[in-house]
Structure 1
Amino acid sequence: MGHKIALPDTYFSDTTLPVLRDDPLLSSGSLVLIDLGHSKGRLASVPTSGSLVSNIAASIATGLVGSASVSPDIMTAYTIGHMAPELSSKGGLHVIKSKVNDLNNTRFTMRVPAAIKAYLLANPAHSYYFSVWQQITRKFDVGVPVMGLAGNAFTNDFWLNLDSTGLPAGIGTKSIGKATNLNPTLATGTAKHQHAVSGATGAIVSMPYTDLFIFGGCPSAGVMNSAVNKGGSQIMYRVYLEDLTVSERTYDQVKALDDELYAAAFAPGGKFYGDTHSDPVTTLA
């Protein structure tokens, strides 16, 4: 493992020198990096409702949004028998969702902090990149939202949104890149979903949908009745959000580095390789 040595009161005038950051994907436009396998991002236990999740991009995000409160929070509303959260052997956050005892508005979500929400509302014309690394441990039966930074609807006014197929919903004309290596409605396994947009779609005047990750496919505003008992189970490993306008990077540039890091993390010797977890089928019907 490498080490970083900070030299106090030392400054370099050459702006072309490389910047040593806490993760190779980070840039001047990084807003959120959640990595549960990172030394600065691990969870000590399953987070409870209202608890914060460490944002490894915090120092960069604070400079962009003007606030030190840049850590996403967890919001839950479920009872025993509806959902069963745990930490996997490699530190991922695994939430098992019942396919028998689900109820409307059962939820376990990670939400973007208010300061970053305000930043997005103030910069709707910027381009943004989003990616998530996860493991699908039980398939979804239908396509429902699994993340959404949106206005009054996931398919009308939004920045970014993904559904449980692994692809964005309501793409419109703003998408500048999208990719997935697994459709969670068809198979289980490790999955990487990426999407970038050139500005917001529609008229963004507010942001009631603030979910960076929705376990089981329940949006914070309430699950659709047609999706009850049809959600999936997932392990969240990593979530990333970048302002491409600020970083001056392209979707392809960020995706290429994201792909490289993902491959290393799940390859033999990688931080998430060989992860183990409870069986959703035997844990919750």
Structure 2
Amino acid sequence: MKYLRLVALIGILAIVLYPLLWMLSTSFKPDEEIVGGIGLLPKDPQPSNYIDGWNSLDVSFTRFFINSAVIAGVSVVFNCVSCLLTAYAFARLRFRARGLWFTLMIGTLLLPGHVLIVPHYILFKTFGWIDTPLPLVVPKLLATEAFFIFLMVQFMRGIPRDLDDAASIDGAGPYQIFWRIIVPLSKPALVTTAIFTFIWTWNDFFSQLVYLSGLDNITVPVALRNFLDSTGQSSLGPMFAMSVLSLLPVFAFFVAFQRMLVQGINTSGLKG
């Protein structure tokens, strides 16, 4: 039984890792071998695919990585700050129609994001923000991510209110309670929000394709699309090479905060 379980786990691991191994192997293959063969190992390895992919477009891939890093980094900061403040208001403060506003906020989760693309595009075009990072980062400062607000609210509801009462007796107001008690104790939920925001923003293709058009302003996911030209011809080897490199920041970010991510998901789901 023990060996059967081990074999089953190895089989599942192989199925999960095979697409990544195939992409890594393909990044070293010439275009003819990618199209004409299905083997995993390259017959004629081409390490030059990475150099060609990095410099094959009119703009170096360095620029695209910088654009993605700036947009993802700013989005993480803006989203964490705005969602944390909003969640604190819903979880700890009392104000008129709090339940109604919270219900409306949760209701936005049922609204498909694609139906908002056209009105958002018209609005941002009126502001003159098209082909700039502003449409991608400014909404994050306005607490538009209801999922993360809900996650933080659930976490904060698990923090004993006795801490608030004790701080109030000592003369602390809502702002002091927020900065000195809620923020330090909400670190797991905050890290969870940061990780998912970074991953989703870094991998986002549709929104960045809609709002960014200039070659100097596009991000890594949009730049990968440019390896396919209008005639249908493509540089498959360099494209896969850059795809492998585009996964490294996400993988490193996830590994660095893996423990905090698991802790944040567990505590946010169990407390409330």
Query: Which TM class, normalised by the smaller chain length?
Result: under 0.3
More helix by share: 2
More strand by share: 1
TM-score, reference length from structure 1? 0.23
More relative contact order, 1 or 2 (CA 8 Å, 6+ apart): 2
Q: Which has the larger radius of gyration?
A: 2
